[in-house]
Chains A and B, each alone.
Chain A
Amino acid sequence: MISLRSLALVAAGVLVLAACGGGTGTTAPAATATAAAQASPTAQPFDEAALLAAAKKEPPLGVLNNSGIVTTLAADFEKKYGLKVNGTKADSPTQVQQVTREVQSGNVTLAVLSIEDGALVQAQLIPQKILVNYVPGDMVKSIPAEWQNPLVQLWDAKVIGYNPDSYSSCPITNLWELTDPKWKGKNSIRDPLGTPEEITWFSWLVSDEFAPKLAAAYQQKYGTALQTTEKNAGYEFIKRWAANKPITGKSDDDTAAAVGAPGQKDAPVGVMALGKFGEAPSKGNKLAVCKNVTPWIGYAYPRYAVTVANTPSPNAAKLFIHFLMTIDGAGPSINDHGGFSANTDVAPGKNEFVGSREDWQKSLVFLSPSGNDRGWQLRQALSDFWRLSRQ
């Protein structure tokens, strides 16, 4: 058994070490901090043959992706180029933790991230030179300029869904109904505290552009103007929703199961990615999209594709980004799940959730990369706001 005296001795040692160890621990990242003002990397010419020849000498390509589609993409890429890909599904925080630590430690195994947390990528990881933006030279013209830094691979959407076993049509017509006592404990969203994309959506709801639309929707629904002590209708909406006991899961799969479990009489409604509706039959879920909700049925969000700094497979990484921007790399997502490629040369998918920029900008909150900085700045405040409102 450890005696108190020796604990004291150990504690003294700890203090001595702390005095000399404290400084070294933080010097490494500080060196890269000055890079924040890096100019946006320009597109580089794309020479497929040269990249392929160089890529063949590189180790297998490490890829993380928010979507499980990554396994399909890995197999297709391998088939096309003969290059091995280790593709793994990982949510944004996991991706960020891993890539940051890999680059800081110098043990880089990753090459490309397909990541939805654009706010962090744009505000932190690219300025810190943990990620490096790459736009294939031959696509500069076909990808809208505002989607090139960081590079958007494709657009997906999260919309409100309901269970057709319980309701003959969508039981809500206004977003504010999510805050109604009627739906208390019977509404669902992926836990905003577990993943950052929902918080980014909130940062749009509280913006000067979108908060007034929520105020108007309130007026339309209840006939009176919204009374709030918060900064605007966006904050008020978030506060009321958090307090309305949403069922929060770790992933949209949890929301899909909560909403879509068959045979429910009064199933919850929930916000989930388009892919969940397509998958529903094979998982035994009953799901349908709410097509008419004021002011929006959900939000459209980009998935970015960015290369990792100091990756051991830089050429294969570029090839993979290029692949993602073609129909080969977008097809599995836009055909099976919905959404559209950021490359305007890629034809729309064959899917009931084919989207287009024009449609989605009208019917959804459209999370343009231009809002990334604001999203990052508001992140902790909005997380805390949700956390405190939820009690």
Chain B
Amino acid sequence: MSVAAGVADRIAAIRLSRLVVRARMVRREPALLMGGGIGLLLLYLVIAPVVAMLSDAVVVQFGDQFLVGQRPGELTTYYLERAFSSPVAGLLFWQPLLHSIVTAFGTTAIALALGGSLAWLVVRTDMPGRRWFASAFVIPYMMPSWAFALAWITLFKNRTIAGQSGFLENMGIQTPDWLAYGAVPIIVTLSLHYFPFSFLLVANALQRFDVQLEESARVLGANALRTTVRIVAPLMLPAVLSAVLLTFSRVLGTFGTPYVLGLPVNYSVLSTSLFQSFRSGSIGVMAVLAAVILAIGVTVVAADTWLLREQRRFVTIGARTPLERAARLRRWWPVAAAAAGTAFFVSVVLPLGTLAISTLMRIPGRFEWSNFTLDFWLAEHLPGFVGSPFGLLRNAELYSAAWNSLWIVGSAALACGVVGLLVGYVVVRTQGTWLSTFVRQVSFLPYLVPGIAFAAAYLSLFAVRRGPIPALYGNMSLLVLVLVVAYLPYASRAGISAMMQLGREPEEAAQMAGASWPRRMARIVIPIQKAALATGILLPFISGLKELSLVILLITRGTDVLATLSVRLVDYGYAQLSNAAVLVVAIFAFAATYLAQRLSGSGLASGLQGPGR
């Protein structure tokens, strides 16, 4: 008995002295303390919303007592049954699931094929205009994703759905339904938007690829096929998988495109089915759908990790060849240039041009002088357009939405960049501890939560007051918060990789000279890391400007941002005005990108590469 007590005492003493040592460490190295703070914050801002949402799926929601036959707050399987096995389960869940998978796979395949081959043309051949194409192929990603959908419907809309017909129909060319709506247009338009991921990642990898390895293989007698399979493919695999992962999870969570192109013909995907549940107040079913989207996202990332497990065991060491060994296209160059030019035309000129022209026509596709007008931009009064009865540029809502976009996204991006750098600081300075691992992993977690599911999670957590945390719904700060957390992966990735390259020495020197921690941060760390900070701010800013999936559930009437203003005009059925609004979003995003590249002097390729690599 007493022996046991003595042992316990000694253990306690050891624990205590360990604690003392730790406390001293914490004082000297605030990274630990800060890490704890950031860790807790992330726990609340990343994990808790997901938990709140998951709990919504199995708890009777308020107002549903009549349907469920239980009291609010009680555990129930009603929502799971409704989504998975009721007579409407097929329409609520299984069909959308199938459609989501079809569109995600289709888009990923086409985007990868398109982006990959364009990358090869730009990096590994002597095609003329390579430099220009290298930056031109990023533009489609700078446009809002649903801009492509609006352009498509402007061209192809037929009389199967309500509203004004499209250009082709009005010009007497009947467009078949499969071309106008559903899987085909969704896959095509999303591919056009997302192929820049594949382009950038593959181009990046090709650029770093050591041509000597390929030549050594040839010298050793491998034929072209063998070289490709055994040398090139394994080395390209990480980039390709990055692109696949990124495209797949984005498509899964995207809302705007299937909303415009799928929903009118009841081709619903998980994100639009989720949105419909939200609208009809079926919060329980919405939570089930969000959980499924989340689960697919996690599965994709897990598969990706598993496929890459071999990769991390070795490093390719070799001098980078200074020689450019471009494949000579010889007489094929016009074909290559035409293909690249066509890709640019279809993914940039055609959609933007269609949208622009459509805003100038009273009746779509009727190319007569009398049909052209500037009214949709400038008119003081547009009769019949109830709720938005003036040209877009005269609409005060446009300016308040633009201002909202700027300050909401701007402050979110700023906060994101700073937190990202702090995450980098914590992760690197506490390396080797479980805290470092935790902060790193959790700050990347939002990356694999598709946008609309993440928004649903935020809606669940912040809908009511919980303890000391007020309900943030209806408050603009909720939008800022969700954007900060959703884009944190980009910023923390930039922060971590930058901090990795900064040794402790400069900071220690300052510490010896008596500088406090805030002073060390302000005078040493941040100035050295300003490039990383800029990336961590600008990338979220550009993405946030054209974000729709994240904000559509959280926005309230009267506080639109540009993206939701455009969708609201779609809902009103005012095609010209919504097309004009989406053009304004595109112009903002272009301007921000231009500014970003001027300021940071770097391309966006490095930033887009998935975090964690």
Binding site for B on A (CB under 8 A): 1-4, 6-7, 9-10, 13-14, 17-18, 21-30, 33, 62, 64, 67-71, 86, 88-91, 93-98, 100-102, 104-109, 124, 128, 185, 188, 193-194, 196, 247-251, 253-255, 257-258, 261-262, 268, 270, 275, 279-280, 282-284, 377, 380, 383-384, 387-388, 390-391
> Given A90-B557, A107-B471, are A25 and B464 neighbors across the interface (CB < 8 Å)?
yes
Per-residue CB proximity of B151-167 to A under 8 Å, as 1/0? 00000000111111100
Say whether B465 contacts A2, CB under 8 Å: no
Please give the distance in Å from B182's CB to the nearest CB on chain A: 15
**B558 contacts A89, C-beta separation under 8 Å:** no
Given A1-B612, A26-B62, also A258-B159 (CB < 8 A) = yes
Task: Name A96's closest neighbour in chain B (CB-CB).
Answer: B281
Given A10-B445, A95-B557: 5 more A-B contacts, CB < 8 Å = A2-B301, A14-B47, A29-B72, A30-B72, A254-B161
Q: How far is the CB of B148 from chain A (nearest CB, A)?
A: 20
**Interchain CB contact under 8 A, A94 and B279:** yes
Residue of B nearest to A109 (CB): B474
- Residues of A contacting B606 with CB < 8 Å? none
Q: State in angstroms the CA–CA spacing of A296 and B610 once bound together.
A: 60
Given the complex of chains A and B, what is the CA–CA distance between A131 and B66 in angstroms?
Answer: 20
Q: Does B55 contact A (CB under 8 A)?
A: yes
Select B463's contact among A14, A96, A101, A194, beta carbons within 8 Å.
A101
A21, B472: Cβ atoms under 8 Å? no
Is B403 at the interface (CB under 8 A from chain A)?
Answer: no
A270 and B161 CA atoms in complex are apart in Å by 12
Q: Which 7 A-B pairs have the closest CB atoms?
A: A68-B387, A68-B386, A105-B471, A249-B162, A254-B162, A29-B62, A282-B383
| Inter-subunit contact A33/B51 (CB<8 Å) | no
Question: Are B558 and A257 in touch, CB under 8 angstroms?
Answer: no
**How close is A248's CB to chain B, nearest CB, in angstroms?**
7
A88 to B460, Cβ gap below 8 A? Answer: no
Which listed residue, B66, B71, B161, B279, touches A249 by the CB 8 Å rule?
B161
Task: Tell me the chain B residues, 341-383 only, with Cβ under 8 Å from chain A.
Answer: 362-363, 383
Known pairs A2-B612, A88-B557; A67 contacts B386 (CB<8 A): yes
Given known A-B contacts A251-B572, A258-B163, A22 and B305 have beta carbons under 8 A apart: no
> In the complex the two chains form, what is the Cα distance from A94 to B567 in whole Å?
13
How far is it, in angstroms, between the C-alpha of A364 and the C-alpha of B10 when the chains are bound? 88
Task: Identify the closest chain A residue to B362 (Cβ).
Answer: A284
- Interface residues of chain B, those whose CB is within 8 Å of chain A, are 43, 47-48, 50-52, 54-56, 59-63, 65-67, 71-73, 87-88, 91, 159-165, 264, 266, 276, 278-281, 298, 301-302, 304-306, 308, 362-363, 383-389, 437-438, 441-442, 444-445, 448, 459-460, 462-467, 470-475, 556-558, 570-574, 610, 612-613
A384 lies within 8 A of B87 (CB): yes
Task: Please give, as numbers and ranges, the residues of chain B lying within 8 Å of A248 by CB-CB distance.
Answer: 161-162, 264
Chain B residues closer than 8 Å to A26, beta-carbon distance: 59-62, 72-73
Q: How far is the CA of A7 from the CA of B164 in the complex (A)?
A: 49
Which residues in B have their C-beta under 8 angstroms from that of A283?
383-385
Cross-chain contact of A107 among B442, B445, B460, B473 (Cβ < 8 A): B473
Taken together as a complex, chains A and B put the C-alpha atoms of A60 and B445 apart, in Å, by 40
A45 to chain B, nearest CB (A): 31
Contact of A6 among B159, B437, B463, B610 (CB under 8 A): B437
B264: A residues at CB distance < 8 A = 248-249
Distance (Å) between the CB of B186 and the closest chain A CB?
18
> Do residues A250 and B573 form an inter-chain contact, with CB atoms below 8 A?
yes
The answer to whether residues A93 and B279 also contact, given A2-B441, A70-B387, A86-B558 and a CB cut-off of 8 A, is yes
CB pair B51 A21 closer than 8 Å:
yes
Q: A4-B305, A25-B56 are in contact. Are A71 and B387 (CB under 8 A)?
A: yes
Closest approach, in angstroms, between the C-beta of A264 and any C-beta of chain B? 8
Looking at the complex, which one of A101, A258, A384 makes contact with B161 (CB distance below 8 Å)? A258
Q: A29-B62, A33-B72, A93-B281 are in contact. Are A24 and B466 (CB under 8 A)?
A: yes
Closest to B86 in A: A384
Is the Cβ of A102 less than 8 Å from the Cβ of B445?
no
In the complex, A275 Cα to B556 Cα: how many Å? 26
Query: CB-nearest residue of chain A relative to B382?
Result: A282
The CA-CA distance from A270 to B448 in the complex, in Å, is: 44
> Is A2 in contact with B305, judged by CB distance below 8 angstroms?
yes
A102 to B475, CA, bound (A): 9
In-complex Cβ contact of B52 among A25, A97, A257 (8 A): A25
Q: Is the CB of A107 within 8 A of B163?
A: no
Q: How far is the CA of A108 from the CA of B471 in the complex (A)?
A: 11
Given contacts A4-B302, A257-B573, contact A24 B388 (CB under 8 A): no
A106→B161 contact, CB < 8 A:
no
Q: Are A13 and B43 in contact (CB under 8 A)?
A: yes
Question: Given the known A-B contacts A185-B160, A257-B164, are A27 and B386 also in contact in the complex, defined by CB atoms under 8 Å?
Answer: no
The distance in angstroms between the C-alpha atoms of A97 and B63, with both chains bound, is: 12
- Chain A residues near B557 (CB, 8 Å)? 64, 88, 90, 94-95, 98
Give the docked Cα–Cα distance between A268 and B159 (Å). 9
A86 to chain B, nearest CB (A): 5
- B35 to chain A minimum Cβ distance, whole angstroms, is 16
Is the CB–CB distance between B62 and A257 below 8 Å? no
CB of B453 to closest CB in A, whole Å: 14
Return B359 CB to nearest CB of chain A, in Å: 16
Q: Are A105 and B72 in contact (CB under 8 A)?
A: no
B574 to chain A: which residues have CB within 8 Å?
253
Q: How far is the CA of A21 from the CA of B304 in the complex (A)?
A: 31
Known: A29-B464, A106-B470. A387 touches B88 (CB 8 A): yes
A-B contact pairs, 27 of them (CB 8 A): A1-B308, A1-B612, A3-B441, A13-B43, A14-B47, A17-B47, A18-B54, A25-B55, A27-B73, A29-B62, A33-B71, A71-B387, A100-B281, A102-B473, A105-B462, A105-B465, A105-B471, A109-B558, A124-B63, A194-B279, A248-B264, A250-B573, A257-B162, A258-B163, A270-B162, A282-B383, A387-B88
* Distance of A9 Cα from B395 Cα, bound (Å): 50
CA distance A93 to B281 in the complex (A): 8
Contact for B556 among A98, A253, A280, CB less than 8 A: A98
Residues of A within 8 A of B276 (CB): 193-194
Chain A residue at minimum C-beta to C-beta distance from B559: A109
* Cα of A4 to Cα of B464 in the assembled complex, Å: 33
| Cα of A258 to Cα of B166 in the assembled complex, Å | 12
Q: How distant is the Cα of A105 from the Cα of B387 in the complex, in angstroms? A: 28
CA distance A26 to B281 in the complex (A): 15
Residue of chain B at shortest CB distance from A32: B62
User: Is A105's CB under 8 angstroms from B54's CB?
Assistant: no
Closest B residue to A1 using CB positions: B612
A127 to chain B, nearest CB (A): 10
A261 partner residues in chain B, CB cutoff 8 A: 164-165
Of A101, A249, A284, which one neighbours B573 at CB under 8 angstroms? A249
Chain B hits for A383, CB < 8 A: 280
The answer to whether A388 and B56 touch (CB under 8 A), given A2-B444, A29-B62, A247-B161, is: no
| Bound form: Cα–Cα A13–B437 in Å | 14
* Minimum C-beta distance from A145 to chain B (A): 27
> What's the least CB distance linking A270 to chain B, in Å?
8
Contact A69 B87 (CB under 8 A): no
In the assembled complex, the Cα of A247 lies from the Cα of B462 at a distance in Å of: 38
What residues on B are CB-neighbors of A188 within 8 Å? 162
Residues of A within 8 A of B304 (CB): 1
Q: Are A253 and B573 in contact (CB under 8 A)?
A: yes
Given contacts A10-B445, A104-B471, are A1 and B613 in contact (CB under 8 A)? yes
Known contacts A29-B464, A89-B387; is A105 also within 8 Å of B51 by CB?
no
With A188-B162, A384-B87 as contacts: A62 and B571 at CB distance below 8 Å: no
Closest Cβ neighbor of A336 among chain B residues = B386
The CA-CA distance from A1 to B71 in the complex, in Å, is: 43
Q: Is the CB of B441 within 8 A of A10?
A: yes
Are B556 and A279 within 8 A (Cβ)?
A: no
Most chain A C-beta atoms within 10 Å of own C-beta, residue among B47, B278, B306, B612: B47
Q: How far is the CA of A205 from the CA of B106 in the complex (A)?
A: 43
Asked whether, in the complex, the Cβ of A101 is within 8 Å of the Cβ of B474, the reply is yes
Question: Which residues of A have CB within 8 Å of B61?
Answer: 26
Q: How far is the CA of A222 from the CA of B463 in the complex (A)?
A: 54
